[in-house]
Structure 1
């Protein structure tokens, strides 16, 4: 895991996040325009079933089911109050190198946490299946 991966670093910049919103279902006359979504740190991560899924590039919080009146800044803050990106008081371009490295360290914590949680979930699901299999064998229900 490279914390200074070029593709990853690109998402700190508004223009690169904005480019991900091709095909975004909300455009004019609403609060969750591609511009407002990108300003709030989101990138568009659609799936077949959810064309309006967006994820914060920093804290990795995914949100879907957007409504035209949803304010991306407020939604981001309410669903991920510990996100350091949404709490920034200045533009990325104005950060010192030290501030950027501190921010990147916090981002790595989000990445590690998400990865660990996904692995724990996989392990628990596998353990549940194995337990059911053992019980079947022990009771002769094969």
Structure 2
């Protein structure tokens, strides 16, 4: 059993290395490292939640080759990214840029968190207020309320 777990863990950890084919790799280790760094931040447009480095899709292969061609042509990392954004749109970036047109995307998570915290605070306050009001009931009212609670459950 332990050997199976080790084998599965090894395959799982090595899986991303299988996506980049040896024929895609550049001879210059520095350029290959730059290509890998760029590829990690680019989305596979077929898989959508994987980087092109992790994807086996044909389009991901084409983009990986394109990244390496642009680097060999002398483009900077930013120029390669901008070329891909111009060609495929900002969706190709795994981490969206922070700009006015993506403000809603960046603000949605904090806004949802704040709305949830406000709803929780309102609910706790309402429950506390009801408990305080129930403390002021007469014994007959408390008994009638307990009977209603017992009948409801």
TM > 0.5 fold call: no
TM (norm. structure 1) is: 0.35
Task: Considering fraction of residues, name the structure with more helix.
Answer: 2
Bigger radius of gyration: 2
